[in-house]
Amino acid sequence: MRSIRLICLAVVLCLRTLAAEAEIAPEMATRLLTVSGMAAVLQHLPEQMRDGFRKGFDVGTEATPPGQRTQIDAALEGAYSADRMQATVLDRVRRGLDHAQAEALLHWYHGELGTEITRLETAGLGDERTGEQIIADNSARIAAMPPRRKALLERAIVASRAIQMAENLVINTTLGLEHGARAARGQVTGSDALIELRSRLESTRPALSEAFLALSLAMSAEAYRALSVEQLAAYVDFLESPAGSRFHEIGVAALDTALLDAARLLGRLLPLTDGPAI
């Protein structure tokens, strides 16, 4: 499941923001997803999720009968659809920004620095290293990093809500699977068992936060290594601006919704077993 966490952090690195309630045209929202790198991320994300689940379910090994592998693959394909996820994010962005905000975002992304940062952030979408490998590969870089540069990277992580997004992915995917499995069995989905499960999962946030912080810092150190301190500071200023903050808030909420819906659907589509889903 580590690949899911890695793509999640790649996703949040590509989100930006603005503050508003009015809608923008679908065409403008589509342009924003494209120039920000989110469209590329949303093309990679479903397959990363499917691959993570296949490894978790031991699909492709003798431990899983061929017939069950086929059912699991079909469920994964049905639940994690790139088109459906992109439509969810697109609609949220369209409804969450006004024209002036969208224009400001497009101005940033079409600028020289915005274009370069999007290129850097999307360059590693196909990275298949584990979290441990990424941290190890960048440990020396982080240890030798000047304090100001490290502080800027940490501010970027906070402004992007990378840690929150990663935590939500783990928690909501588990909850969504259980919710969907209960619905498929005709069981009550608002039961005390689900409430207790959420409470148990929420208690893991501190540990998840610590793990994701180390990974996110390593990924950021590697992704932005070619940027000067001045360029990195300008990027952090953008992320912390009303525009950068709002767009990212919308993007994180949209991805939360898309991934929770996909997990619930997967829970309903997976082959039923006699025991509990979780």
pLDDT digit string, tens, across residues 17-75 = 333 345 899 999 999 999 999 999 899 888 888 888 887 776 555 666 777 778 888 88
Residues 193-207: what's their mean pLDDT?
85
Note the pLDDT of residue 243. 86
Note the pLDDT of residue 27. 93
Which tens digit of pLDDT belongs to each residue from 138-147? 999 999 999 9
Q: pTM of the entire structure?
A: 0.81
Residues 274-278: what's their mean pLDDT?
45
Q: Looking at per-residue confidence, does 160 or 141 come out higher?
A: 141
Which of 46-55, 215-224, 254-263 is least confident?
46-55
Note the pLDDT of residue 276. 45
267, 181 in Cβ contact below 8 A?
Answer: yes
Residue 150 predicted with pLDDT over 80: yes
**Most trustworthy range by pLDDT among 14-23, 110-119, 180-189, 196-205:** 110-119
Tell me how far apart the alpha carbons of residues 16 and 5 are, in angstroms, rounded to a whole number: 20
Amino acid at site 30: T
Note the pLDDT of residue 196. 84
Is 95 exposed, middle or buried, given 0-12, 13-18 or 19+ CB atoms closer than 10 A?
A: middle
Which tens digit of pLDDT belongs to each residue from 165-194? 888 888 888 888 887 777 777 766 666 777
20, 97 in Cβ contact below 8 A?
Answer: yes
Structure token pair of residue 96: 């969450």
277, 184 in Cβ contact below 8 A?
Answer: no
Half-sphere exposure of 245 (CA within 13 A, CB side): 9
Note the pLDDT of residue 68. 78
Residue 278 predicted with pLDDT over 50: no
Region of 18 on the Ramachandran plot (φ > 0 left; ψ -120 to 50 alpha; else beta): beta
Q: Looking at per-residue confidence, does 195 or 254 come out higher?
A: 254
Residue 114 CB partners (closer than 8 Å, separation 6+):
35, 108, 238
218, 211 in Cβ contact below 8 A?
Answer: no
Query: Mean pLDDT over all residues of the chain?
Result: 84
Tell me how far apart the alpha carbons of residues 160 and 70 are, in angstroms, rounded to a whole number: 38
